[in-house]
Amino acid sequence: MKRMIIIMIALLLLGGCNTVISDNTSYADDNEEAATAYNLSFDGSDASYEVNGSTYITLGDEDVKITKAGTYILQGTLNNASIIVEVDKSEDVQLVLDNVTINSGDFAGIYIIEGDEITITLADDSVNTISDSGSYTQIDDNSVDALIYSKADLIINGNGTLILSSAYNHGIVSKDDLIITGGTYDIDVAGQGLSGKDCLLIQDGNFNIVAGKDALKSDNSEDEYRGYIYISGGDFKIYTGADAIYGYNLVNIEGGSFDITTAKSSNADSYKAIKSEYAITISGGDINIDSVDDGIHSNGDVTITGGNLYIESDDDGIHADALVQIDDGEITIIAHEGIEGTYVLINGGNINITASDDGINAAQKVNTYTPTIEVNGGYLTIVMGSGDTDGLDSNGYIIVNGGTIDVSGMNTFDAELGSEYNGGTIIVNGSVVDEIPEDMMGGGFGGFGGQNHGQGNNSGQMPGFGENNGYGWDTDDDESSASQFPGGFSGHHHGGH
């Protein structure tokens, strides 16, 4: 049997356009079905439009109602009114914003009621502005709550600029898919910045977002193949009083440049920079985080295979309830606690951790694993704060098969159930050692069934893993990975990035 999470990660790293996320209890019985469950393609990236045959509309003081498929080029200023699109659910509409100003008053500036695929194109060199002036008065049974609100798939493309401002509501909300392939966005809203209920896909663009609630969001919790965020490029500057990037089932970042700041506000009870209920995968990008809550947080797994990450956090730098797996990347963490998970697996990368508490902590948060820290490769540097802190702290086991661990502090290693040193280099307070220091060590690993299938050369026995223990280790695989597991602003800004 193959775990769905392995299929997901493999497809992402191979550059495929489709991937899948597992449910919490089942395996992937059909690779082809698994590979097509999530659509990560960027349809609609072509921002061109034909002037001949298009309909020109000069905006004024009345609602503009579009009821037929076609391309509409909008120009001018709209006051106390809205652009309303309602076509047959099989029809497509392209709205070209060519230096448009919409002062929508007490309703959305653009309201898409029905259609198949609606595209908003930001005309080259155009500057387009949408703002409101109060809480919304509804015109039908839909609870419209955004400057741009769509009940259909929404694609935004082009090379122009879109400025969104609301002291009451969200920026852009699609109750279906939201796909952005280009443009410049200046968003300052009381609510969410960009939200696609089924998915939020971003290929490119420049984004400056100040949001009172989640800045980027996809929250469909009813379908295991929806509720995900996929970012392959773009420049993001985000300041939020809630979570900066939240994908219910999955957040997948393959590229882009991110400058993320979260601060506490009365709008939310979570202020994490990147968050998912199930899985976060990062394979590229330059990610700079300054967060009052966890920098990267998953109630399931976190997998990092590349990228440059700089994380400052008043809580955990990287947190997963189940598995944290790092295969590569340049990672710097300054936090209360550096990395936390039930199983922390480090196969590569350059990781620098400065922690006021533990550098790496493996604690029992799910029953899928016995708490374990396993290092098979990479270069790991840990500096702890003074007091009752540990460099590597496991409520279960510590296994070192390779790589370099350079740890400085009072208590450098703490494994309650035991440790095993099979290879690699360990440097403690500047001196190379030939065994794991026994600060608070238990016994050896004898008597536990089930081989460890990590990427190192560990020949010892691992606790809690049999030939297949539900959705634990798969003995057919050569590499370690794990399945899903369910599971006014105040604050401060750290300097010295």
The per-residue pLDDT for range 296-338, each reduced to its tens digit, is 999 999 999 999 999 999 999 999 999 999 999 999 999 999 9
Its sign, for the CA torsion 12, 14, 18, 20, is negative
SS (H, E, C) 204-260: CCEEEEEECCCCEEECCCCCCCCCEEEECCCEEEEEECCCCEEECCEEEECCCEEEE
In this prediction, residue 45 carries a pLDDT of 65
Q: For residue 224, what pLDDT band results from cuts at 50, 70 and 90?
A: confident
Q: Which of 189, 179, 185, 102 lies closest to 145, judged by CA?
A: 189
Q: For residue 47, what pLDDT band results from cuts at 50, 70 and 90?
A: confident
Q: For residue 50, what pLDDT band results from cuts at 50, 70 and 90?
A: confident
* Residue 78 CB-half CA count within 13 A: 30
Is residue 19's pLDDT more than 60?
no
Is residue 445's pLDDT more than 80?
no
261 strand-pairing partners: 239, 290
Is residue 473's pLDDT more than 80?
no
Is residue 2's pLDDT more than 50?
no
Cα–Cα distance for residue pair 459/477, rounded to 1 Å: 16
In this prediction, residue 480 carries a pLDDT of 39
Is residue 9's pLDDT more than 80?
no
Report pLDDT digits (tens) over 112-139.
999 999 999 999 999 999 999 999 999 9
Is residue 479's pLDDT more than 70?
no
CA distances from residue 237 to 114, 119, 201, 292, 310 in whole angstroms, order as listed: 32, 24, 17, 17, 14
Q: Are 49 and 31 in contact (CB under 8 A)?
A: no
Q: Are 432 and 425 in contact (CB under 8 A)?
A: yes
Is residue 70's pLDDT more than 50?
yes
Contacts of 56 (CB under 8 A, 6+ apart): 72, 73, 75
Residue with the bigger pLDDT between 457 and 142: it is 142
Instruction: Please state the rounded mean pLDDT for residues 217-230.
Output: 94
Only one residue has tokens 């809580």, namely 315
Q: For residue 438, what pLDDT band results from cuts at 50, 70 and 90?
A: confident
Is residue 421's pLDDT more than 60?
yes
Instruction: Please state the rounded mean pLDDT for residues 372-387.
Output: 95
Cα–Cα distance for residue pair 128/352, rounded to 1 Å: 43
Is residue 478's pLDDT more than 60?
no
Report pLDDT digits (tens) over 277-290.
999 999 999 999 99
* DSSP code of residue 126: -
In this prediction, residue 37 carries a pLDDT of 63
Residue with the bigger pLDDT between 41 and 99: it is 99
Contacts of 459 (CB under 8 A, 6+ apart): 422
In this prediction, residue 215 carries a pLDDT of 98
Share of the chain above pLDDT 70, in %: 80
Its sign, for the CA torsion 396, 400, 401, 404, is positive
Encode 191-215: b = buried (16+ Cβ within 10 Å), e = exposed: bbbbbbbbbbbbbbbebbbbbbbbb
Is residue 402's pLDDT more than 80?
yes
Residue with the bigger pLDDT between 208 and 30: it is 208
Token pair belonging to 452: 């460890």
Greatest distance between any 2 Cα atoms in the chain: 80
Q: For residue 49, what pLDDT band results from cuts at 50, 70 and 90?
A: confident
In this prediction, residue 457 carries a pLDDT of 35
In this prediction, residue 249 carries a pLDDT of 95
In this prediction, residue 419 carries a pLDDT of 96
Share of the chain above pLDDT 90, in %: 74
pTM: 0.84
In this prediction, residue 91 carries a pLDDT of 97
Residue 36: its H or E element:
helix 31-36
In this prediction, residue 229 carries a pLDDT of 97
Least confident of 1-10, 315-324, 352-361: 1-10
Q: For residue 439, what pLDDT band results from cuts at 50, 70 and 90?
A: low
Cα–Cα distance for residue pair 206/256, rounded to 1 Å: 10
Please, what is the average pLDDT of the chain? 84
Angle at 122 between CA 121 and CA 125, to 5 degrees: 145
Token pair belonging to 178: 């939201």
Is residue 437's pLDDT more than 60?
yes
Token pair belonging to 279: 């899985």
| DSSP letter for each residue of 291-341 | ESS-SEEESSEEEE-S-EEEEEEEEEEEEESSEEEE-S-EEEEEEEEEEEE
In this prediction, residue 442 carries a pLDDT of 43
User: What phi-psi label fits residue 376: left (phi over 0), alpha (psi between -120 and 50 degrees) or beta?
Assistant: alpha
Is residue 452's pLDDT more than 80?
no
Q: For residue 7, what pLDDT band results from cuts at 50, 70 and 90?
A: very low
Instruction: Please state the rounded mean pLDDT for residues 388-414.
Output: 95
Q: Which of 45-54, 79-88, 430-439 has the highest mean pLDDT?
A: 79-88
In this prediction, residue 246 carries a pLDDT of 98
Instruction: Please state the rounded mean pLDDT for residues 487-497.
Output: 37
Is residue 408's pLDDT more than 90?
yes
101 strand-pairing partners: 77, 129
Instruction: Please state the rounded mean pLDDT for residues 255-261.
Output: 98
